[in-house]
Amino acid sequence: MRIVLLGPPGSGKGGLAERVAGAYDIPIITQASVVGAVAAEPGELGRLAAEARGAARVSDELLLALLRIRLPKLDLSRGYLLVDMPRNAGQADVLDVMLNDLGKPIDLVIKLDVDMDELMERLVGRIQCDHCGTLYNMYVNPPLVDGVCDECGARVRRRPPDYEETISNRLRVYEGQMGPLLQYYQQAGRLHRFDAAGEVAPLWRQVKAVIDATPSQEVTAPGEGTVKAGGVDDAGSSAKKAVTRKSSTKMAKKAATKKAAKKTAKKVVAKKTAKKTAKKTAAK
Ligand SMILES: [Zn+2]
């Protein structure tokens, strides 16, 4: 199965990615892993990758160039899970051509949606004791005494005053880039959005149901297929031709799965809210 996973920081992408990759035995491919692998190679691209890693900034062009040399070297026979790549619609277009040429087109795109307020609560509220590692959330689970760790009594650091604004800006930039990218995949009929406000376990069940209901496109990759004796076959174009669009029955089936998944998600949220309220009441 060939999957793209997209989601804002704090949406629980990492945990979900591990479950998907584990269940379907496919490699997780992130920007960091691609940049890191190429940076270890000799040559001009290796040098550029190392430089970009040092600066923690990778341009669109460089990322695509790195993917172009990295993807053919990976074992993608069972599929792949691309995380947070592509980053925009322009990259998506180039990546599609690249993956089609490899005979490994994207089967589905998973986008995790979390309400902005909820994300702020998760990202801004999360603090950790430097001394013993105990995790707190300033909003839902603060230490009993402000600024002091319940477990070890060490000081629990507060966030810098502009931290909330920084996070908020980061999320806004992210959502701005997402719009055209999601539209691109929506038009191609590959996009599936999930409410990721709840716990990872129920989210995983919903995602798995959609993955299992999605047929992996049958393609003949260059070199893998049968080559006619004496004939020079343009493997790239034949791979493209082999990519078939999903039938309307399958689409309808998927829509039904999505509906059911949404219902479950709503229930989970309601349960969570009830839990929170109970906690607060108990604290009083
Ligand atoms: Zn502590």
Residue 49 resides in a domain: no
The token pair that represents 17 in the structure block: 């990615």
Q: Which residues are catalytic?
A: 13, 87, 126, 159, 170
Q: What is the DSSP letter of 145?
A: B
82: closest CA among 153, 12, 28? 28
CA distances 278 to 115, 269, 272, 273, Å, are: 22, 14, 10, 9
To which H or E segment does residue 205 belong? Answer: helix 200-213
Residue 221 near residue 102 (C-beta atoms within 8 A): yes
Residue 201 resides in a domain: yes
Give yes or no for residue 135 having a pLDDT over 70.
Answer: yes
| CA 168 to ligand 1 center in whole angstroms | 28
| CA 156 to ligand 1 center in whole angstroms | 7
| CA 132 to ligand 1 center in whole angstroms | 4
| CA 281 to ligand 1 center in whole angstroms | 25
The pLDDT score that the predictor gives to residue 222 is 55
Among the listed ranges 12-26, 73-87, 238-252, which one has the minimum average pLDDT value?
A: 238-252
Residue 268 resides in a domain: yes
| CA 123 to ligand 1 center in whole angstroms | 20
Q: Phi, psi (5° rounding) for residue 194?
A: -130, 140
Residues β-bridged to residue 195: 113
The residue that leads in pLDDT, 107 or 121, is: 107
Residue 145 resides in a domain: no
| CA 138 to ligand 1 center in whole angstroms | 15
Residue found under tokens 């190679």: 41
Helix H, strand E, coil C: the string for 2-23 is EEEEECCCCCCHHHHHHHHHHH
Q: What is the DSSP letter of 155?
A: B
Residue 156 resides in a domain: no
Q: What is the mean pLDDT of residues 44-49?
A: 94
- Which residues form the domain of 17? 2-27+75-115+190-283
The token pair that represents 90 in the structure block: 């322009």
| CA 119 to ligand 1 center in whole angstroms | 25
Residue 109 resides in a domain: yes
Tell me: the pLDDT tens digits for 204-241?
A: 999 999 999 998 887 765 554 444 343 344 444 444 33
Among the listed ranges 1-5, 18-22, 87-91, 162-166, which one has the minimum average pLDDT value?
A: 162-166
Give yes or no for residue 143 having a pLDDT over 60.
Answer: yes
How many angstroms separate the CA atoms of 156 and 136, rounded?
9
The token pair that represents 277 in the structure block: 């309220």
Q: How many domains is the chain built from?
A: 1
The most confident of 81-85, 129-133, 254-258, 263-267, by mean pLDDT: 81-85
**Angle of helix 163-187 relative to helix 116-125, nearest 10 degrees?**
140
| CA 1 to ligand 1 center in whole angstroms | 43
- CATH at residue 96: 3.40.50
Residue 110 resides in a domain: yes
120: closest CA among 243, 281, 11, 216? 11
Q: What is the mean pLDDT of residues 57-76?
A: 94
The pLDDT score that the predictor gives to residue 182 is 96
The residue that leads in pLDDT, 116 or 209, is: 209
Residue 124 near residue 215 (C-beta atoms within 8 A): no
